[in-house]
Chains A and B, each alone.
Chain A
Amino acid sequence: MTRPLIFEISKPGRCATSLPELDVQPADLPEGLIREDLRLPEVSEGDLMRHYTHLSHVNYGVDTGFYPLGSCTMKHNPRINEAVARLPGFTHIHPYQDEETVQGALFLMYTLQEFMSEIGGFPGITLQPAAGAHGELTGVLIMRAYHLDRGDDIRDVILIPDSAHGTNPASTSMSGMEVVEIPSNEEGDVDLEALKAACEEHSDRLVGMMLTNPNTLGLFEKQVEEICAIVHEHGGLMYGDGANMNALLGIARPGDLGFDVLHFNLHKTFSTPHGGGGPGSGPVGVSSALVDFLPGPVVTIDEEKSEGDLPFFTLSTPAKTIGQVKAFYGHFGVMVRAYTYIRTLGRAGLRRVAEHAVLNANYLKEQLKETYPLPFDRICMHEFVLAGPPEDVQEDGVHTMDVAKRLMDYGFHPPTVYFPLIVEEALMIEPTETESKETLDAFADAMKTIVAEAREDPDLLHEAPLKAPMRRLDEVQAARDLILRWQPSDEDA
């Protein structure tokens, strides 16, 4: 079924809202600077709602069904978070309002800083970064600034394991530094000998290392304390990619494990919606040596303006700040949701989140490992990686992408595919704690059925999906033709 574009249902004169009459004398418009045309669509309110409702029907979200997208933590988005984030006291406040008139908002931010500090084990927190990758850029710039401040201006190397998210090397080079890749060993952990050799070779130039723990194979890096010690010995700092914090909530604090910097993903671990690709929020925690380098402003207490037990919250900029990483203070609306989540769950609830995320992942892994090759067979954390369909099926030309597309026919969103890069045909599965045993069982059944189907009729999988809103889409054609916008036909123009 072809769905028209909103431009294709447009008709001159329609409008989906009404605006007030002008209540003052009009002023003159300057000549030569006024535009002539603006081809935005013209639709009625009813047509607009139907258009977007139809689009929502061909979109799959966590609300639609199981979304085991590895590394993305697609947990349920609680509705209380949405309700309170829409309170006018939060939505209708301007970032430049007098601090006295936004003490509720500043209290919330201050308390969230305290919560993140306690959960991560870091004395300093910035809430400004807008997403995980933005937090990485912030953290790497902080590490760079720390060395420069010590007069150590030749350090420009950051070590990154070969299993890392692509954002890690991209953030490093954006900060003007060089990436040195560290291989993984047969257990899926960092190859310690290779790490030592790289640290020796680049000792003078070492800024630090970026490590995801649990790593992208879903395994807890058992040598973490040793790795931190080696990097520290060479004057480097340890950056933690907190994308996988859902496994560690209340279980271990990255600050206690030896990390100096870490970004959180409020849109993964703390249940705020992914929004079809944002907005996220990527607060960064740092050790005491790095607090002065945080981007500003952060929320602090102004002792002079505080009265008795009533603290006065203020925005202030750390002494040696790397600068602002975005305008204003961060994604406040996302912070309201994360704050609400932490208050709802409390200390015990947060630990139960991690326990059940890990329970679900291990349970599903046990269900699937007889059917799908599991390259690292040990207790996993909140996710695990399979090496595609079984060998005999792959020999018949059925690959991970075919399994992914066929899962859609069974009503599931596919897992993350072809990542991490160190596992060929990777299927990366993260169920999250908000899924029931029944859902996991149904998914495991579908995964097993798909392998049986592949053995019987490989072409069925190549054809998949058959029941999704669309058949397989041609990505090569999209890159070749490069149609990035709608164009009016001659008669419209």
Chain B
Amino acid sequence: MPYIPHSDADRKAMLQTIGVPSLEALFEDIPASARFPDLDLPAPLSEMGVRWELESLAEANLTTAEGSCFLGAGAYRHFVPAVVDAVISRGEFFSAYTPYQPEVSQGTLQAIFEYQTMICELTGMDVSNASHYDGATSTAEAVITAVNVHRMRRKKVVVSPFLHPEYRNVVRTYTQGMDLTIVGDEAASTDPTELLDKDTACVIVQYPDFLGRFEDLTDLGQAAQDVGALLIVATDPIALGLLKPPSAFGADIVTGEGQGLGIGLNFGGPYLGFFAAKKKHVRKIAGRLVGQTSDAEGERGFVLTLSTREQHIRRERATSNICTNQGLMALAAAVYMAALGKCGLRQVAELCYHKAHYAADEIDKLDGFSVLRDKPFFKEFAVRCPAPVAEINDHLLRKRAIMGGYDLGETYPEYKDHMLLCVTEMNPRQEIDRLVRTLKEVTS
């Protein structure tokens, strides 16, 4: 039987050692009325059969490789070098547990230490933890950190309306039992700076923001510092290949979605939440940390450290309940950053930037379409359309198998009929030109 190595003789000998007559007899502690239910589940499949079934389910989806994809909005199609999967497919990495026994877990531990260093370099921050579930949950954990830094005395959280709508949802879900007031995202016109006061624990902005725009955040950082609030910046790591890191604006905590760093779209997960902070907050942050030490012979090695913050030690007084995180995804991101390196990541970022600007310029020329250009943008931009976004997307999909942009009107009433388009290094010029031609058909 699959995955169970016992022979009949083994089972018999083992039952004899235990002193019970049958496998059933091992379960007598379970109330008889509930024991051995007749489950309505399908019969087993052979390995071949299961592969065929899964292949047919996979084929029932339209992939971003079959069509052309201009969807972003928090999940991005970036190129993944072959080395990433080659490394994370090694069983020594993926079949290991959390590295609680460091003498036999140096592979995982050193890789995370290197990952932490890379995230610090990218964000400009002092310390990085070993990961969170995704960008949304790392941002929610940052809010809790900020509230804890203020010893729960500050109850106000200011959120930019241009933080990803799902991240804003998750921040509210996480903190619903904490008696906080979350303000700032009621209308697109709100300026977070104006809401800061002495009761504010933190202000959260996205950089580049949900509409793809970026700007100098120095003034916001200063305003936050003036009232003693923490500045939390949720960012796109690919953009940081080109843009100034959030540390330049005085960020206290930098979070974000690391999926762009070598992780596939996977219909939304598993992704990678990264979390970096100023050193002074290190004892208040959530998640695992890997630190350098030495062994009994003085050799350099790595261990999990500051675990007195964590649930398995501190229980109800822990900084978070997080246990399992995204170890293998952090490894993927580290391999990606190592593979691209200093110049490669810059090159990817520049490809995104220039191609997105080419697409925006071409679309702007079309009758009825106009690109929102109030601030610089990176790889995403908002376009006002001459028809409802759903209709345009339907046309793009049916006519040319093009996955159009995110419908901004769904979450921002102010941006009705606005589409958020994303262009990356994965969109060749011909694909962009085809998008522009197909959009033109909508108005003609």
Inter-chain contact A413/B137, CB cutoff 8 Å:
no
Inter-chain contact A327/B429, CB cutoff 8 Å:
no
Q: Which one of A98-106, A194-202, A300-308 contacts B? A: A98-106
Q: Which one of A80-88, A389-397, A447-455 contacts B? A: A80-88
A63 to B353 alpha-carbon distance, docked (Å):
43
A492 to B49 alpha-carbon distance, docked (Å):
56
Interface flag for B99 (CB, 8 Å): yes
A377 to B105 alpha-carbon distance, docked (Å):
33
Q: Give A448 Cβ to nearest chain B Cβ, in Å.
A: 15
Interface flag for A32 (CB, 8 Å): yes
**Known contacts A250-B39, A327-B170, A333-B270; is A136 also within 8 Å of B321 by CB?**
yes
Number of A-B contacts (CB under 8 A): 679
> Given A25-B354, A61-B91, 16 more contacts at CB 8 Å?
A17-B344, A22-B350, A42-B342, A48-B335, A55-B111, A58-B107, A59-B93, A61-B93, A89-B63, A91-B266, A280-B324, A346-B42, A436-B5, A470-B103, A482-B305, A484-B291
Other-chain contact of A42, B179, B329, B341 (Cβ < 8 Å): B341
Interface flag for A342 (CB, 8 Å): yes
Give every chain B residue within 8 A of A82 (Cβ-Cβ). Answer: 89, 94
Q: Which one of B153-161, B189-197, B220-228, B295-303 contacts A? A: B295-303
Q: Give B391 Cβ to nearest chain A Cβ, in Å.
A: 12
Give every chain A residue within 8 A of B322 (Cβ-Cβ). Answer: 131, 133-134
Inter-chain contact A220/B30, CB cutoff 8 Å:
yes
> Beta-carbon contacts of A1-38 to B below 8 Å, as 1s and 0s?
11101110010111111011011111101101111001
Interface flag for A423 (CB, 8 Å): no
Interface flag for A276 (CB, 8 Å): yes
Give every chain B residue within 8 A of A172 (Cβ-Cβ). Answer: 316
Interface flag for A318 (CB, 8 Å): no
Inter-chain contact A346/B118, CB cutoff 8 Å:
no
Which residues of B in the span 55-111 have a Cβ within 8 Å of any Cβ on A?
55-65, 67, 69, 71, 73-75, 77, 79, 81, 83, 85-87, 89-99, 101-108, 110-111
Least CB separation from A483: chain B residue: B292
Which residues of B in the span 327-378 have a Cβ within 8 Å of any Cβ on A?
327-329, 331, 334-335, 337-348, 350-351, 353-355, 357-358, 361, 376
Q: Which one of A229-237, A284-292, A473-481 contacts B? A: A473-481
Inter-chain contact B34/A252, CB cutoff 8 Å:
yes
**Known contacts A94-B267, A101-B397; is A26 also within 8 Å of B354 by CB?**
yes
Inter-chain contact A56/B90, CB cutoff 8 Å:
yes
Dominant SS among interface residues on chain A: loop
Q: In which size bucket is the chain A interface?
A: 35 or more
A13 to B344 alpha-carbon distance, docked (Å):
10
Give every chain B residue within 8 A of A362 (Cβ-Cβ). Answer: 14, 18, 20, 26
Inter-chain contact B2/A349, CB cutoff 8 Å:
yes
Interface flag for B216 (CB, 8 Å): yes
Give every chain A residue within 8 A of B341 (Cβ-Cβ). Answer: 10, 14-16, 40-43
Q: Give A222 Cβ to nearest chain B Cβ, in Å.
A: 5
User: Which residue, of B89, B172, B282, B343, has the highest number of chain A Cβ atoms within 10 A?
Assistant: B343
A483 to B291 alpha-carbon distance, docked (Å):
5
Inter-chain contact B92/A64, CB cutoff 8 Å:
yes
Interface flag for A446 (CB, 8 Å): no
Inter-chain contact A40/B345, CB cutoff 8 Å:
yes
Give every chain B residue within 8 A of A74 (Cβ-Cβ). Answer: 95, 97
> Closest 3 CB pairs between A and B?
A176-B177, A89-B58, A328-B268
Inter-chain contact A170/B243, CB cutoff 8 Å:
no
**Known contacts A132-B324, A345-B2; is A40 also within 8 Å of B338 by CB?**
yes
Inter-chain contact A60/B267, CB cutoff 8 Å:
no
Which residues of B in the span 358-416 have a Cβ within 8 Å of any Cβ on A?
358, 361, 376, 393-394, 397, 403, 406
A95 to B75 alpha-carbon distance, docked (Å):
7
Q: Give A3 Cβ to nearest chain B Cβ, in Å.
A: 7
Interface flag for B434 (CB, 8 Å): no
Interface flag for A460 (CB, 8 Å): no
Give every chain A residue within 8 A of B44 (Cβ-Cβ). Answer: 343-349
A108 to B111 alpha-carbon distance, docked (Å):
33
Interface flag for A400 (CB, 8 Å): no
Inter-chain contact A6/B114, CB cutoff 8 Å:
yes
Inter-chain contact B73/A96, CB cutoff 8 Å:
yes
Give every chain B residue within 8 A of A16 (Cβ-Cβ). Answer: 81, 83, 338-341
Other-chain contact of A59, B58, B106, B167, B291 (Cβ < 8 Å): B106
Inter-chain contact B30/A94, CB cutoff 8 Å:
no
**Known contacts A104-B61, A256-B34, A478-B293; is A279 also within 8 Å of B87 by CB?**
no
A173 to B376 alpha-carbon distance, docked (Å):
42
Give every chain B residue within 8 A of A1 (Cβ-Cβ). Answer: 299
Q: Give A73 Cβ to nearest chain B Cβ, in Å.
A: 10
Inter-chain contact A88/B58, CB cutoff 8 Å:
yes
Inter-chain contact B17/A366, CB cutoff 8 Å:
yes
Interface flag for A356 (CB, 8 Å): yes
Which residues of B in the span 29-62 have a Cβ within 8 Å of any Cβ on A?
29-31, 33-37, 39-45, 47, 50-51, 53-62
Give every chain B residue within 8 A of A331 (Cβ-Cβ). Answer: 269-270
Interface flag for A404 (CB, 8 Å): yes
Which residues of B in the span 1-23 have a Cβ within 8 Å of any Cβ on A?
1-6, 10-11, 13-15, 17-20, 23
Q: Give B433 Cβ to nearest chain A Cβ, in Å.
A: 10
Q: Give A334 Cβ to nearest chain B Cβ, in Å.
A: 6
A83 to B48 alpha-carbon distance, docked (Å):
12
Which residues of A in the span 251-289 have a Cβ within 8 Å of any Cβ on B?
251-253, 256-257, 267, 271, 273-280
Inter-chain contact B344/A131, CB cutoff 8 Å:
no
Inter-chain contact B96/A276, CB cutoff 8 Å:
yes
Inter-chain contact B4/A17, CB cutoff 8 Å:
no
A472 to B240 alpha-carbon distance, docked (Å):
39
A5 to B39 alpha-carbon distance, docked (Å):
51
Q: Give B136 Cβ to nearest chain A Cβ, in Å.
A: 4
Inter-chain contact A478/B348, CB cutoff 8 Å:
no
Interface flag for A323 (CB, 8 Å): yes
Least CB separation from A249: chain B residue: B39
Inter-chain contact B169/A323, CB cutoff 8 Å:
yes
Inter-chain contact B1/A352, CB cutoff 8 Å:
yes
Give every chain A residue within 8 A of B6 (Cβ-Cβ). Answer: 356, 359, 436-437
Other-chain contact of A24, B133, B310, B337, B354 (Cβ < 8 Å): B354
Interface flag for A320 (CB, 8 Å): no
Give every chain A residue within 8 A of B242 (Cβ-Cβ). Answer: 29, 34-35
A325 to B134 alpha-carbon distance, docked (Å):
10
A74 to B341 alpha-carbon distance, docked (Å):
35
Interface flag for B122 (CB, 8 Å): yes
Inter-chain contact B136/A87, CB cutoff 8 Å:
no
Give every chain A residue within 8 A of B104 (Cβ-Cβ). Answer: 58-60, 408, 413, 465, 468-469
Interface flag for A405 (CB, 8 Å): yes
Interface flag for B166 (CB, 8 Å): yes
Q: Give A256 Cβ to nearest chain B Cβ, in Å.
A: 4
Inter-chain contact A323/B243, CB cutoff 8 Å:
no
Give every chain B residue within 8 A of A167 (Cβ-Cβ). Answer: 311-312, 321, 323
Interface flag for A379 (CB, 8 Å): yes
A84 to B52 alpha-carbon distance, docked (Å):
10
Inter-chain contact A275/B93, CB cutoff 8 Å:
yes
Inter-chain contact B350/A15, CB cutoff 8 Å:
no
Q: Write 12 A-B pairs (CB below 8 A) sorted by A numbering.
A: A13-B343, A48-B83, A90-B267, A101-B61, A131-B324, A166-B312, A324-B173, A348-B44, A351-B36, A358-B23, A413-B101, A474-B296
Which residues of A in the span 411-430 have a Cβ within 8 Å of any Cβ on B?
413-414, 419
Q: Give A260 Cβ to nearest chain B Cβ, in Å.
A: 15
Interface flag for A157 (CB, 8 Å): no
Inter-chain contact A325/B324, CB cutoff 8 Å:
no
Inter-chain contact A256/B37, CB cutoff 8 Å:
yes
Other-chain contact of A176, B113, B179, B324, B328 (Cβ < 8 Å): B179
Give every chain B residue within 8 A of A367 (Cβ-Cβ). Answer: 17
Inter-chain contact A92/B264, CB cutoff 8 Å:
yes
Interface flag for B176 (CB, 8 Å): yes
A271 to B2 alpha-carbon distance, docked (Å):
12
Interface flag for B130 (CB, 8 Å): yes
A72 to B324 alpha-carbon distance, docked (Å):
11
